[in-house]
Amino acid sequence: MQPVSETIKLLHRHTSVRQFQDKPVSDELLAAIIGAGQMASTSSNVQAYSVIAVTEQPLKAQLSALSGNQAYIEQCPVFLVWCADLYRLREAAAPHLQGTESYEDTTENLIVATVDAALAAQNAAVAAESLGLGIVYIGGIRNEIAKAAELLGLPELVYPVFGMCLGYPAAVNGVRPRLPLAAVLHHNRYDAGTTVQQAGVYDDISRDYMRERTGGQSDTAWSEMMAKRQTQPSRLHMKEFLLNKGFMQR
CATH value of 6-175+233-244 in 3.40.109.10, 3.40.50.720, 2.60.40.1120, 3.40.228.10? 3.40.109.10
Dihedral angle at the C-alpha atoms of 59, 32, 11, 75, nearest 10 degrees? -20
Model confidence over 111-160: pLDDT tens digits?
Answer: 999 999 999 999 999 999 999 999 999 999 999 999 999 999 999 999 99
- Mean pLDDT, the chain, rounded, equals 96
Contact yes or no for 33/134 (Cβ under 8 A): no
The Cα 87–Cα 105 span in angstroms is 10
Please answer whether residues 42 and 48 qualify as being in contact, where contact means their C-beta atoms are separated by less than 8 angstroms. Answer: yes
* pLDDT score recorded for residue 153: 98
Q: What is the pLDDT of residue 215?
A: 86
211-245 pLDDT, tens digit each: 988 888 888 999 999 999 999 999 999 999 999 99
Q: Mapping DSSP to helix (H, G, I), strand (E, B) and coil, where does residue 240 land?
A: helix
pLDDT tops 90 at residue 28 = yes
**Which tens digit of pLDDT belongs to each residue from 172-225?**
888 999 999 999 999 999 999 999 999 999 999 999 988 988 888 888 999 999
Strand order in the sheet with 78-85: 49-54, 78-85, 158-167, 134-138
DSSP string of 106-147, one letter each residue:
SHHHHHHHHHHHHHHHHHHHHHHHHTT-EEEEEGGGGTTHHH
The single-letter code of the amino acid at 37 is G
- Domain(s) of CATH 3.40.109.10: residues in the chain: 6-175+233-244
Give yes or no for a contact between 130 and 10, defined as CB atoms under 8 angstroms apart: yes
3-state class of 30 per DSSP? helix
Beta strands in the chain, from DSSP E residues, in sequence order: 49-54, 78-85, 134-138, 158-167
Angle subtended by helix axes 27-38 and 107-130, to nearest 10: 130
pLDDT > 90? residue 47: yes
Give the pLDDT band (50/70/90) at residue 1: confident
Collapse the DSSP code of 216 into the 3-class scheme (helix H, G, I; strand E, B; otherwise coil) and give the result.
Answer: coil
Alpha-carbon distance of 78 to 25, in angstroms, equals: 7
